[in-house]
């Protein structure tokens, strides 16, 4: 008997990517289930979204722990208890440590609002806008020990036009994220993604 593919989303903010993935599951576009939300922000919109969608959440305050590995070990216990297959970082504003990275190598992905390796880190949309690049976009990549350095799974580009403002660019990026992240998660649920060194193949 095959069990359903189980996804955990980690998020700290508004949770639009979390919602997009939940919606794709509901619509039958991802063959799996969102089994858990992990968040370090008890009052965030994403925690409320999980409650409304009836999805379990593990919400913690990093200040209650002596170091990162202590709360990550608790997260690992929550993931293992639910037999999570894939960790989806979606605006999770904490760095992950080897406790999670090593246990979930090849099973943890992130979405970043630039065409990596350009503009890693915070405020990627603003960095690209201020730099004056003509093309930017969205990257979905595996998570390794570095900052937005893991093997690239998918990218989608968008042009920055003369009339664009930071606000209009943010909205273009959001609209790419709406379709791209659920699509990539569905590839994982369907077992289509293979990783060989830094080369990712979608079958
Ligand atoms: C998104 O822009 C994503 O690319 C970045 O963090 C943001 C999260 O937004 N990693 P939301 O919480 O999903 O609305």
Ligand 1 atom 9, closest CA: 91
pLDDT, residue 2, reads 53
Report whether pLDDT(1) > 70. Answer: no
pLDDT, residue 114, reads 98
**Residue 87: CB within 6 Å of ligand 1?**
no
Alpha carbon distance 39, 109 (integer Å): 16
DSSP state string for 52-108: HTT--EEE--GGGSSSHHHHHHHHHHHHHHTT--EEEESS--S---HHHHHHTTTSE
Mean pLDDT confidence for 134-155: 97
pLDDT, residue 43, reads 96
137 CA → ligand 1 middle, Å? 13
> Sorting pLDDT into bands at 50, 70 and 90, what band is 12?
very high
> Sorting pLDDT into bands at 50, 70 and 90, what band is 131?
very high
175 CA → ligand 1 middle, Å? 12
Residue 45 marked as a ligand binder: no
Report whether pLDDT(3) > 90. Answer: no
Give the number of the atom of ligand 1 that is nearest the alpha carbon of residue 174.
2
Three-state secondary-structure class, residue 170: helix
Q: Write the pLDDT tens digit of every residue in 109-120.
A: 999 999 999 999
pLDDT, residue 139, reads 98
Q: Write the pLDDT tens digit of every residue in 47-98.
A: 999 999 999 999 999 999 999 999 999 999 999 999 999 999 999 999 999 9
Task: For the chain, give the percent of residues with pLDDT over 90.
Answer: 99
Alpha carbon distance 136, 22 (integer Å): 26
């Amino acid at each position: 008997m095959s069990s359903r593919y189980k996804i955990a989303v980690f998020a700290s903010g508004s949770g639009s990517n979390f919602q997009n993935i939940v919606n794709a599951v509901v619509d039958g576009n991802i063959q799996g289930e969102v089994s858990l939300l992990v968040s370090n922000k008890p009052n965030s919109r994403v925690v409320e979204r999980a409650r409304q969608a009836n999805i379990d959440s593990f919400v913690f305050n990093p200040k209650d722990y002596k170091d990162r590995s202590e709360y990550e070990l608790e997260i690992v216990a929550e993931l293992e208890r639910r037999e999570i297959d894939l960790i989806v970082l979606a605006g999770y504003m904490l760095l992950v440590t080897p406790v999670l990275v090593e246990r979930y190598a090849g099973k943890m992905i992130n979405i970043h609002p630039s065409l990596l390796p350009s503009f890693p880190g915070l405020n990627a949309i603003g960095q690209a806008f201020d730099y004056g690049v003509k093309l930017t976009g969205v990257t979905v990549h595996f998570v390794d020990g570095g900052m937005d350095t893991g093997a690239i799974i998918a990218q989608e580009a968008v042009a920055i036009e003369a009339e664009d403002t930071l606000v209009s660019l943010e909205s273009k990026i959001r609209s790419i994220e709406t379709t791209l992240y659920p699509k990539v998660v569905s590839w994982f649920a369907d077992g289509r993604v293979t990783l060989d060194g830094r080369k990712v193949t979608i079958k």
